[in-house]
Amino acid sequence: MSDIHPPLVDDFFNHLKFEKRYSQHTLRAYLDDLTVFFQFLKVPRSINRKISSLKSFYRFCMLKGHVSASPLAAIKVLKTRKRLPSYIEESQMQQLLEQVEFSDDYSGRLQYLVVAVLYHTGMRVSELVGLKAMHVDTTRMQIKVLGKGNKERIIPVHRDLVGELEAYRAVRIDLEHAADRVEFFLTEKGKPLAARYLYIRL
């Protein structure tokens, strides 16, 4: 059992077996319960979700006057390890941009440019869909991005990407309502791009 449970559990089990002389049925029940408990402790995200649910429930009970205090008030959530972001190898991205055949219509040009911009600039999807047309400066070869906390940053743009941006801007102008839109990236119907659109198309 020591490879599954903390050493104290083994000592506790021996105590129940030899000193308390519990039956095999009771011993098995205790062991099963402790096994489930210690396995549960290995998943802090599940514990934190349950703590959050209980805290919300007791806040509701306090709001309605059913209880005067929450028994969860002093309980803190467990620390969780942050997942490392997944990434695409450079060779895979080059293959995507060079070998995958995008259609030559507006939709294909848009999809290619979105992939290229995300790859070359490293901006987030939320930043890309919120990118303003006035912030794409092909003359200075830079893009102004509004990130988290409304912090602005300037991203330099490679000359190859500048050409793609200018080519897109030339076809974007023909879209319906394009002149009224401040967003740089627009759908085929001239509407602002949404994150959901990217996930579906790409």
Residue 177 one-letter amino acid: H
Cα–Cα distance, 51 to 31 (Å, whole number):
25
Number of CB atoms found within 10 A of residue 147's CB: 13
With a cut of 60, say whether residue 1 has pLDDT above it: no
Average pLDDT for 89-116: 82
Residue 35 one-letter amino acid: T
What would the pLDDT profile of 2-16 be if each residue is shown by its tens digit?
445 567 788 888 888
Secondary structure class of 137 (helix, strand, coil): strand
Q: Which CATH number fits domain 90-201: 3.40.50.300, 1.10.10.10, 1.10.443.10, 3.40.50.720?
A: 1.10.443.10
Half-sphere exposure of 29 (CA within 13 A, CB side): 5
C-alpha R_g of the chain? 29
Per domain, the residue ranges of the chain are 90-201
Q: What is the pTM of this model?
A: 0.54
What would the pLDDT profile of 46-99 be if each residue is shown by its tens digit?
778 888 888 989 999 999 999 999 998 888 877 766 666 666 677 777 777 777
pLDDT value of residue 119: 86
Structure tokens that stand for 164 in this block: 């793609």
